[in-house]
Structure 1
Amino acid sequence: MSYSQGSHRASPVAGVPGAQPPPDAYTAYDLDLYDAVTATATAVAPLPVPLSPPPPAAGGRAAARHAARRRGQSGGGSAGIRCRNRLVPLVPQALVVAFLAGGAAAFVASDKAVRLSVDGTPRTLHTYADDVAELLADEGVVTGAHDLVSPAVGEPLADGDEVVVRYGRPLTLTLDGRRRRVWTTARTVDGALRQLGVRAEGAYLSASRSAPISREGMTLLVRTERAVTFMADGRERTVRTNAATVRGALAAAGIVLRGEDTASAPLDSFPRDGQTITVMRITGSRQVREEAIPFQTVETLDDTLFAGTEAVVRQGRPGARRVTYALRTVNGVLQKPRKLSDEVVRAPVAQLVRVGTRPRPTSIADVDGLNWQALAECESGGRPGAVDSSGTYGGLYQLDRQTWRTLGGEGVAQDASSEEQTRRAKKLYVQRGAAPWPHCGRRLYR
C-alpha cells in the first residue's frame, strides 16, 4: 500500500488532518480500522471535541465481527479500505502498517481451537465464539432440558477447551417387576444401566447390553440376579436366579412339584432378593362316614294324665347321613378334614310324648283308673314272685327292698300278695308319679 501527500484531501474533522468522518454503517473490520486510525490521528493532533464511537451493529460486537469476517473473505483493495462503496483515503504508511499489525494480532487472539463432541461424535474446529452458548449456536446444536452440556452453556470459552454434548433419551424401564420412565444420556443399554446404577451381571435383559438407544428412546425389561432360599423336603437350598416367577425359581433350584404340592408364596408371584419360600408336599384322600341324625321329641299336653307324668306315644328313631370328607396332609401333618358332600340315607322318626296336666292325686283311690296290669306285665311279666337277675328288684312292679319298706311293707315285695304289691305301688305313684318305672311307666296310661 502506498501513501502520497498530493492525494490527501482536507479533513472535515477539525484539528485532525486527513481524518475522514465515520461512515454511516460499519463492518466489524471497518470499526476496528476506524478506531485505530482515529486513535493514531488524535495522538498526532488532539481533537478539541472527543470523537464518539459509531453505533454498534445489531447482535453486538461479536456478531458484527462474525459478519465482517464472512464478508472480508472476498474483499480488500490495493489503494485503501472500502466502506459502503467509498474508499477511506490512505493514511500515512506508518500508521497503516501499525494498524494492520494490531488488527491481525486482535483477530489471531480471538481465534480459538476447541474440541466439540456431540453425542459421541468429536471434531476439532476453530471459532471466535466467546462462550459455550455462542459456540453451540454457531454450530446449530440445539439442546433440551434432559440433555447434558459440559461445560455449562454460560461458561466462557478458551483456546484448547473441550465441549461435550450428550442428548437425553427416554427409557421405559421395568426393573424387577417395577415399571418407571427415566431419562439417560447413554447411547447403549450397557451405558444406561451403569448410569442408573443397575447391576447387570447375571441379569436378564430384554435387549443386548450393546444395543443402541435411539433419540426416541426404548423399552427395557431387566430382572437382576437375586438370592432365594427354599425349604423343601427337610432341606434348605439357596439359589441365585433371575427368574420372573417363584415357579421359575423352583425350577432353577431343581425342585419339582407334583400333584397338589405348592409353596408358601404364590407360584406366579415375583421372587424377591433374600426371600425364604417353604415348599409344601401335599397328599390328599377321601373318607366316607355314616353319622346319626338325632330325632326330635314332640310333646302334646294331656289333661287325662297327672301333672309331672309323661307318656311316650311313639318311640323316636335317629336317622342316618353319609358324609364324604377330603383328608389332606401337608409335609406329613394331617389337616382338618374338609366336608365335600352330605347325603341323608335314613330320615329320623320323631318321638311323640303326652305330657300330663291333671292335678297330682292325693290318695290311692285317685289312681285306681290307671292300667296297673299293663305295668305289671311290662315290669315282671305279671309274676308276683319275679326277681331280677341281680336279686335287687322283685315282685309285680320290681321294687327294691328300701323302696318297699318306705311304703310300709315288710320283708321284700316278691313275698307279699299281688293285692298288697298293687296297693303299695299305687301309694308310690301318688308320691312320685310314674318316675320309678322309667321304661314301663307309660303302660299305665293305655
Structure 2
Amino acid sequence: MQKAFKNRWVKTGAQAVALTALIFGLVSFVGANKTVAVTVDGQTRSVQAYGKTVAEMLASADIEVAAGDRVSPALDAAVDDGSTITLNRNKSVDVSIDGIDRVVHTTGLTVADVLNQLDVGDSADVSTGPQLELAALKSPLEISTQKTLQLTVDGKTRRLTTTEPTVGQALEDAGVDLGSDDELSVAPDTEVKDGHEVVIVRVKTTTKTVTETVDHGVEKTSDNDLERGKTKTVTAGKDGVRTLTYRITTHDGHEVSRKLVEKKVTTDPVDAEIAVGTKKPEKKEEPKKAQESTGGTTASAGGVSATWKALAQCESGGNWSINTGNGYYGGLQFSQSSWLGAGGGKYASLPNQASPAEQVAVAEKLRASGGWGHWPACSSKLGLR
C-alpha cells in the first residue's frame, strides 16, 4: 500500500515538473515575441516576430537590407515590444544639372530630398515639384541652377540672373528684345555660364537723301557783229540738282557704313550761251612822234616803235600772232593773266589775237607799273635796263 502511494507521488511529481517546464517555456516564448512598426520608404506595417535586435526582427519578417540602405535604429540595436524601425532603401536617380547628366544615389523619398542632398538651393529651376515621391518619378530630374550674366545693351551694363540653359532663352525670359539685325556677342544657343559677359549691339539701317549742285556748262559761239575781244551773254546758265540716296548702318547709334544706292539728276542744268566777238575793231592812227619815251624811233607801220619791235624780235622772233602752247602769247609773250590784268581783254581774250599796236599799248601799261623787268632777259640783252 505504501509502495503504491509512493509511485503515485513520484508520477504526480514528474507531471508537475513537466508542466512547470512547459509553462516556463511558454512564458519565455511569449516574452520573446514582439510587435514592432516597420516603415519601409514611407510605408508602415506592423510586424510580429521574435528577436532581440533590429536585424533579427527584420530577418524574422523576411525584410532584406541591402548595401546603401539606411536603417534606424542600427541593425545591432536592441528591440523592445512596440518599437519603431525605419528602413529607407538606397535609390538611383537620373539627374541632369545644367545639361550635365549624372546618377545620384539617395535614401530620400522625395525630389526635395534629392535637391537638399545636392545643395542646389531654392532658386534652382526643377522639372517637377519638390514634393513628388521618387517612386513616381518617370523621367530624369532636370535641374537648372541660378547663374548671373553681365549684360551690356543699349549703352548700359547690368547683372541678369537666370536659370535658363542658353543665352537666347535667358534674354527672352528677361524680356530683352533682340532685333533681326542686332548683333549678339555669343550665339543664342550658347550654354549659360555663371559670370558670362554678353553684349548686344543694336544695328539699324536707314536711308538718307541729300542733294548737290550740278554745275552748268558754258557754250561759246562766234558773233561777227560783236567787236573782237568782247563777249555777250545770250542765255544765262543755271545749275542743276542731283539727288543722292545713301543706305546708312549704325551700331548703337554710331555710323559704321554709308553706301550710295541711288543717284539721279532731278533738275537738269542749263548751259550758258556766250557770244564771243570776232569783228575786227577799226584801227586808230596814233600820232607819230619823233622819238618814243623809250628812246627808240617810230616804226613805219602801226605806230610800233623800233624799241618794241626789237623786244618782240628777241621775245618771239617778231611774230605778233604766235601761240606756241607754252602759256605765253603774241610778239611780247604775255601770260594771259598779265594781259587781262593790264586791260588787254578789251582788245582780245588772248594777246596773240590783238594787233601789234594793241599789244604795245598793253605793254606800255605793264612797263609803267613794273618797268622793263616784265621782260628781264631780252630787256637786259637790249640794254633797256
TM-score, length-scaled by structure 2? 0.49
TM-score scaled to structure 1, two decimals? 0.43
